[in-house]
Structure 1
Amino acid sequence: MRAFLRWYSHNLKKHQFAMNMVTTGTVFFVGDILSQQVIEKKGKEHKLERTLRSITVGSFYIAPFITYLYNFVDKVFGPSQTIPKSLKKTGVICLFSPIVSGGYVICNNMLQGKSINFTIDQLKKDLPTIVVVQYKIWIPSHFILLTVVPLRHRMFLSNFVGVLWTCYLTHASNTGTANEKSV
């Protein structure tokens, strides 16, 4: 395990975006499998294409966006991990939360070939609930990450919380927050 962490840390320094894309894709893989198997109890009816969409959106949209956002807040507020600076950084990240979740829903629907009208209706119906749940999970998580975790390790550690969040997000974006089947 120590060798893996050394390898990961070394590559994270050299290839921050690529490593975060790989780890976030892995989180979305695990999160969607948990969503389909544990929450939705699909069993053998597991939708592999949905899992692949989740990995794609997680890797190519969520990871770059969040990596850039973490880097941005550290540049604006400095690398200091004091409580006041961590609160400011958390606030800025929370301002972008609806964009991150809304973007996930949009990308997921685009990859399914769903219409823009369907996507707009889904965003109107589901995004407020998604964002409230997102704030409940991520505000305390970001505050802790920004207070005690060095910048280069934030994305990796946030991915542990991300498994639970992704499980919820993939479920909500594919079935609706009110457990109504999306057409």
Structure 2
Amino acid sequence: MMRRSNLRGIGQRCFLLFWEKKTLSDAGVLLETSLRAKQLECPPSVRYYHQITKTKHQKISHPSFEPFSSPSFSSLNSSSSSSKMGIIDWYLRKLESHPVLTKSISSSFIFIAADLTSQMITLEPSGSFDLKRILRMAMYGLLILGPAQHMWFNFMSKVLPKRDVASTLKKILMGQAIFGPTVNSVFFSYNAALQGESGPEIVARLKRDLIPTLLRGAIYWPICDFLTFKFLAVHLQPLANSSFAYIWTIYLTYMANLKGVRTA
């Protein structure tokens, strides 16, 4: 039989190992090694303690044992994130396979949303939405602005391919000097022509509305263009430009649908 002093000494060493933040298996290994070294017969109580130690260690070290995990919550998060990534991946694939069409459709939807918002702001309580106006805005984004953005941003990436501060500032200046006046002039002329205005009336509208619009755009667009040119790849720049244009288009559609200027 094992002496009580030997058993007490082994137990103390096991307790010290556990107290020093070592694993329970280390204490079990020490116990088994000590017993074999002394060629002592292990009592049933010690064998039972060692078996419990091995079982606990196996449960703790098992890779699939996660006592604080919530499978349902984890699967819900992973499914929602994978769904979002799926939509983004689908959109990026469409940008690669059909760049002009994808950018044009995106621009059209943004113009629809912006014009709806603009009408809601100015709509009288008993009024209704102007569906012809919404259609005009949708066709402008689809047929004119979407392709124009694609060509402009691709041109800028070839002329000024770098994204440093100097190149970005040059792109902003070119946008304010060339792209902005061009697309705004086309927008006012296109919208006025579809409303039945004559050539002189369109010219009078441009004289009245174009300069104030460009001056306000010079305050808003440089910040948006800096973020777009500096931090985004060229194939994502039209989408960012259209997204920034959502707020701008609310104002733009309001200006474009003001009453025309009477000419003598």
For normalisation by structure 1, the TM-score amounts to: 0.91
Whether 1:29 and 2:112 are equivalent positions in the alignment is yes
Instruction: Provide the alpha-carbon RMSD of the alignment.
Output: 1.3
- Which letter does structure 2 place at the counterpart of 1:63? G
Counterpart position of 2:95:
12
2:214 is matched with which residue: 113, 131, 153?
131
Aligned pairs for 1:81-120 (under 5 A) are: 81-96=163-178, 97-120=180-203
Residue 36 of structure 1 contacts residue 42 of structure 1 at CA under 8 Å; is this kept in 2?
A: no
How many Å apart are 1:46 and its aligned residue? 1.4
User: Can you give the 5+ residue segments of structure 1 that lack an aligned partner in the other structure?
Assistant: 176-180
Cα displacement (A) at 1:99:
0.9
CA contact (8 A) 1:69 1:93 kept: no
Q: How many residues align?
A: 176
Runs of 4+ aligned structure 1 residues displaced above 2 Å come to 41-45
Equivalent residue number for residue 149 of structure 1 = 232
The 2-side partners of 1:88 and 1:98 are apart by 16
> Which of these two proteins has the greater Rg computed from alpha carbons?
2
How far residue 116 of structure 1 moved from its aligned partner, in angstroms, is 0.9
Question: Which residue does 2:260 correspond to in 1?
Answer: 182
Which residue in the other structure is 1:164 paired with? 247
In 1: Cα distance, 2:98 partner to 2:221 partner? 25
Output one character per residue of 1:15-56: Cα deviation in whole Å (capped at 9) or x when no partner: 111111000000100010011112x12454211100100111
When normalised by structure 2's length, the TM-score is 0.64
Matched residue, 1:121:
204
Contact 2:114 2:249 in 1 (8 A): yes
Give the 3-state SS of the residue equivalent to 2:257 in structure 1.
Answer: helix
Return the offset for 1:127: 0.4
Aligned residue type for 2:135? L
Of 44, 58, 62, which residue of structure 1 is paired with 2:145? 62
Bigger relative contact order, structure 1 or 2, given CA contacts below 8 A and separation 6+? Answer: 1
- The verdict on how the C-alpha distance between 1:149 and 1:113 changes in structure 2, with shifts beyond 3 A counting, is same
In structure 1, distance between residues paired with 2:235 and 2:204? 37
CA–CA distance in 2 between the matches of 1:51 and 1:104?
14
- Structure 2 unaligned segments of length 5 or more: list them: 1-83
Contact 1:27/1:159 (CA < 8 Å) preserved in 2?
yes
2:168 and 2:155 mapped to 1: Cα distance? 13
* Letter matched to residue 128 of structure 2: E
Q: 2:107, 2:146 within 8 Å by CA — same for their partners in 1?
A: yes
> Are 2:122 and 1:48 equivalent residues in the alignment?
no
Contact 1:81-1:147 at 8 Å conserved across structures: yes
